[in-house]
Amino acid sequence: MLLVAAVALFAGAAGARPVPAVSPRQPLPMSHKRHIAKDMKCRACHQGVEGEALASFPTLADCMDCHKTPQGHDPAEPEVRAFATSGQDLAWVRLNRLAGHVYFSHAAHVTLASMKCEDCHRDMHTVDRALTEADMHQNMGACVACHRNRHASLDCLACHK
């Protein structure tokens, strides 16, 4: 018991986070850069981002709005239609996830506080592959530091519900 506790303490002190043995594999390759260059807005694929807590992910039907017919000449592009005929569900692997006891709302930050996605996430205009790891390692210190600066709530129960 003592040994387990000591190891846990050591891992905690080193700031270790559980690292998945294998990178999560997204169901389809998809370049943010190339879609954004075609003038697509973030909210076209992340429909909850302005009005809801979760930004959400696009469905296969959203992709097929355009990919029913070939788009561009990338060799990966036909994979979208192949996936659609396979009858599988399009389940994106979610990479950014706070602990279950924390409440976060995109609407509060994007709409009420007029923040840009890049204030917290990497600049997706340059990302040319499906993501394999979280781009934020948000901790309480980072949230609270900005809340203090911007005179937003420091109430424990605003973030912990």
Restricting to residues 133-152, name those near ligand HEC by CB under 6 A.
135-136, 138-140, 142-144, 146-147, 150, 152
Single out the residue of 71, 81, 84, 107 in contact with ligand HEC (rule: CB under 6 A). 71
Count other C-beta atoms under 10 Å from residue 154's C-beta. 11
Residue with tokens 């600066």: 149
How many CB atoms are located within 10 Å of the residue 30 CB? Answer: 21
| Complete DSSP assignment for 140-157 | HHHHHHHHHHTT----HH
Three-state secondary-structure class, residue 158? helix
Angle 142-144-148 (CA atoms, 0-180°, nearest 5)?
120
- Residues of span 103-132 touching ligand HEC by CB under 6 A: 103-106, 108-110, 112-113, 115, 117, 119-121, 124, 130-131
Residues in contact with ligand HEC, shown as a per-residue x/- string from 76 to 95 under the rule CB under 6 A: xx-xx-----------x-xx
* Using rule CB under 6 A, residue 160 touches ligand HEC: yes
Which residue lies nearer to ligand HEC by CB, 11 or 140?
140
Among 6, 23, 97, 133, binds ligand HEC (CB under 6 A): 97
96 is an interface residue for ligand HEC by CB under 6 A: yes
In the complex, the smallest distance separating the C-beta of residue 158 from ligand HEC, rounded to whole angstroms, is 4
Question: Residue 62, interface with ligand HEC (CB under 6 A)?
Answer: yes
CB 51 within 8 A of CB 61: no
Using rule CB under 6 A, residue 40 touches ligand HEC: yes
Out of 54, 81, 84, 107, the residue judged to bind ligand HEC by CB under 6 A: 54
Other CB atoms within a 10 A radius of the CB of residue 99 amount to 8
- Crossing angle of helices 78-86 and 60-67, in 10° steps, is 130
72: three-class secondary structure by DSSP = coil
Give me the least distance between CB of 22 and ligand HEC, in Å please. 16
